[in-house]
Amino acid sequence: MSDKKALIIFSEIVQSLEEIRDIAKDLVKQGESKEGVIISDEEIALQQMSGAPIHQLKSADYYINEEEAGRTLLRGCQEIEEKTVEMIQLCLEFTHPL
Confirm whether pTM is higher than 0.75: no
Closest CA to 47 of 59, 57, 61: 57
Q: Report the C-alpha gap between 28 and 9 in whole angstroms.
A: 29
pLDDT tens sequence across 39-63 = 566 766 676 666 655 555 554 444 5
How many CB atoms are closer than 10 A to CB 77? 19
Confidence (pLDDT) at 66 = 77
Selected residue with higher pLDDT from 74 and 68: 74
Per the CB < 8 A criterion, the answer to whether 20 and 79 are in contact is: no
**Mean pLDDT across 59-84:** 80
Q: Report the C-alpha gap between 21 and 50 in whole angstroms.
A: 37
Q: Report the C-alpha gap between 83 and 93 in whole angstroms.
A: 15
**Mean pLDDT across 61-80:** 80
Confidence (pLDDT) at 67 = 80
